[in-house]
Amino acid sequence: MNSPELDTKDRFAFRPARGDDLPTILRLLADDPLGKFREQVLDGGAVADSYRAAFNVITADPRNHILVASVDGAVHGCLQLTFIPGLTYGGRERAQIEAVRVSAAMRGKGVGRALLGHAIGLARERGCALVQLTTDKRRLEALAFYRALGFAASHEGMKLGL
């Protein structure tokens, strides 16, 4: 897949998520028409044990990264980037992007574009053959956003809830 070079314009800072970012990340994941029904945000910034355990497993795995975008030191965006080994594409890895969210206050201001550009850059540096992601078909704005970044709906994705 060819994707445009994305310019961060030094407006945003990107870094791996830290444990103290988890309450903010959870609020971002829940601040969504679909996420508000499946994510659990506790009062006072408390984090459910299941989220803390998942965060610890993800961040301990060198193939998994939770990245945050900050503006003036405050986290306003996040995503999970996973590098998946495979036998296709000459044995090259692919990058999977999940859980992309930008705070309501910063939507439409380039945070998501810059964060995706950063993740795509990391995949390029690692030598990945492609970057893939899924988004719910009901997220029409997200679909348009990803298409504008060069992503193509070239495959039919399927999921089985358990």
Element spanning 15, H or E: strand 13-16
Phi/psi of residue 113, each to 5°? -60, -45
Q: Is the pTM of this model over 0.75?
A: yes
At 26, the amino acid letter reads: L
pLDDT of residue 2 exceeding 70: no
pLDDT of residue 3 exceeding 90: no
pLDDT of residue 1 exceeding 50: no
pLDDT of residue 129 exceeding 80: yes
- Give the tens place of pLDDT for each residue, 100-116: 999 999 999 999 999 99
- Sequence ranges of the domains in the chain: 13-148
- Give the tens place of pLDDT for each residue, 21-48: 999 999 999 888 777 667 777 777 788 8
107/139 Cα distance (integer angstroms): 14
Residue 30: per-residue pLDDT: 87
Sign of the CA dihedral with 151 first, then 103, 111, and 16 last: negative
Span 1-10, average pLDDT: 44
Q: For the domain covering 13-148, report its CATH number.
A: 3.40.630.30
- The pair of structure tokens assigned to 29 is 């994941």
Residue 158: per-residue pLDDT: 83
